[in-house]
Amino acid sequence: MDVKYKINRLEATNSIRPLVDRHWEELRTAKARGELVGWASGPSFIFPYAMGMKCHFMAGYASYCGGIGAADELLKAAESIGELADTCSYHRLHTGMVEAILKNIPITEQAKLPMPDLMICGRYCTEQAHYSEAFYRKLGIRILPLELPFVFREKDRPRIKKFVLRQVKEIVIPTLEDVCGKPFDYARLSEILSVLKQTAAIRNKCWEFLATRPATWTLWDYAVSMAPVIYMMGDPKGIPYYENLLKELEYRHKNGIPAMAPAGEKYRIYWDGWIPWAFLGKFMRKFTPSGAVCLCGRYPWEMFADPESIDPEKPIESAVDWLYGNHGIATHLAPKGAIGKIGELIEEYSIDGMVMFSSKSCRMWNLSNLDVIDALEKKYGIPGVVIEADMIDPEMVSDSQINTRLDALFENIDGRRK
């Protein structure tokens, strides 16, 4: 008889939305309080945070817009100024938002951000950096540039780390001091890292419940919980959020309540690439009826996976080590490093199959997906599929293509089990 699978929803994650709403509300009202506002791409917002600036985070804003259902209207506004559909949807989302504000095109109020005093351009993704340049051209907004290369070979890491540290010391800090009119606040940076360290440590305990069989929660639950370990870093409210979550997971585990009713998952899936922020419900509904749960992925594991390495006494080095230290994530974005990282996750979370979420408008996480699957399949004997869609652009999401490929993946796993 067919099992009717259903997700057991967590209570603790209900409290993330108010935290996230408050974060964006504080950003929206910052100018009224006389605070400086920054917009940041790439993982560079920690530095303006240290200076007390209210700062947006490009991917975080996109996920927020996806969550509140505002993405589509912003993308349409972008189209009106000639943005082409192949362009990064995060880029289009921002140019659409600015266009809507400048031209009074009606959009969701919560999606309107104050124009920034500074664009902090962390060129981690080369394409995300282009939106800063566009706003300089359009609005003359000052840019603080920071080149953050992916590490393609381990031997390059020391010199890239040195290069990034040098940029932080010679460009980032002096520019922020100039814009804010005060010395760089190293003490505040240490505080932020200290809170982050505590938050990420509890989060890591929660991760252990993704490794249990059956799983106690899912990747989607973690995805909506990511803000405290990324763009809300330094906000102490993230600590009780994760404490509460951990408590619920421990309770579930103790009482035999799995993430998936009635008795746990059939397939344990690795998810590669961005989270489909505007379509979380849709994707959950695609996996759940088959008894599949997504449990881990490179992108969500980017967020300070190794809190022990955070040293608040060495704040600048810690901030840079996140990307370029011994466990630095900048290596995982180059395809060869991806093989290593995904392999670790496959082992740690007892994965049955891989889904590579290939965003048509973003190639950041797509690099060499098919070769990565091939290499991992040979090593671990598990299958993988690529599904093509987008993080927020509904025009790029084809249900039938995704359904067919997921069905093929599940059948493939079944076949190997026999």
Q: Which is nearer to other proteins, 55 or 364 (CB)?
A: 364
d(CA 265, CA 267): 6
CB of 358 vs other proteins, minimal distance in Å: 6
Burial (CB < 10 A; 0-12, 13-18, 19+), residue 68, is: middle
CB of 78 vs other proteins, minimal distance in Å: 8
Task: Among 16, 107, 129, 219, indicate the residue that binds other proteins (CB under 8 A).
Answer: 129
Q: What one-letter code names the amino acid at 87?
A: T
Q: What one-letter code names the amino acid at 415?
A: G
> What x/- string results for residues 51 through 90 when contact with other proteins is judged by CB under 8 A?
------------------------------xxxx-xxx--
Burial code (b: 16+ CB inside 10 Å, e: under 16) for 327-339 equals ebbbbbbbbbbbb
Q: Which is nearer to other proteins, 21 or 136 (CB)?
A: 136
Q: Which is nearer to other proteins, 160 or 354 (CB)?
A: 160
The token pair at 277 is 């922020």
Task: Among 134, 201, 239, 261, indicate the residue that binds other proteins (CB under 8 A).
Answer: 134
d(CA 297, CA 345): 7
Strand order in the sheet with 384-389: 292-296, 267-272, 353-359, 384-389
Q: Which is nearer to other proteins, 43 or 234 (CB)?
A: 43
Spatial neighbors of 222 by CB under 8 A, at least 6 apart, are 206, 207, 210, 300
Tell which residue, 171, 167, 175, has the closest CA to residue 51.
175
Range in contact with other proteins (rule: CB under 8 A) among 6-14, 34-42, 248-256, 332-340? 332-340
CB of 73 vs other proteins, minimal distance in Å: 18
The token pair at 188 is 């505040």
Tell which residue, 356, 343, 350, has the closest CA to residue 406.
356
CB of 3 vs other proteins, minimal distance in Å: 34
Q: Which is nearer to other proteins, 234 or 273 (CB)?
A: 273
> Does the footprint of other proteins cover residue 166 (CB under 8 A)?
yes
> What x/- string results for residues 363 through 402 when contact with other proteins is judged by CB under 8 A?
xx-xxxxxxx-xx----------x-x--------------
# residues near other proteins by CB under 8 A:
60
Which sign, positive or negative, has the C-alpha torsion 146, 150, 156, 157?
positive
> Does the footprint of other proteins cover residue 130 (CB under 8 A)?
yes
CB of 320 vs other proteins, minimal distance in Å: 13
Task: Among 45, 47, 49, 150, indicate the residue that binds other proteins (CB under 8 A).
Answer: 150
CB of 46 vs other proteins, minimal distance in Å: 19
d(CA 14, CA 21): 12
3-state secondary structure of 272: strand
- H-helix segments, 216-314: 219-224, 238-254, 280-287
The token pair at 205 is 């305990």
Task: Among 8, 15, 110, 167, indicate the residue that binds other proteins (CB under 8 A).
Answer: 167
Q: Which is nearer to other proteins, 7 or 164 (CB)?
A: 164
Question: Parallel, antiparallel, or unpaired for β 292-296 and 54-57?
Answer: unpaired
Subset of residues 170 to 199 that bind other proteins, contact rule: CB under 8 A:
170-171
Range in contact with other proteins (rule: CB under 8 A) among 137-145, 225-233, 244-252, 407-415? 137-145
> Does the footprint of other proteins cover residue 331 (CB under 8 A)?
no
CB of 67 vs other proteins, minimal distance in Å: 25
CB neighbourhood size of 411 (10 A): 12
Give the residues lining the site for other proteins (CB under 8 A): 81-84, 86-88, 91, 95, 121, 123, 125-127, 129-134, 136-138, 143, 145-147, 149-150, 152-153, 156, 159-160, 163, 166-167, 170-171, 333-336, 339, 358, 360, 362-364, 366-372, 374-375, 386, 388
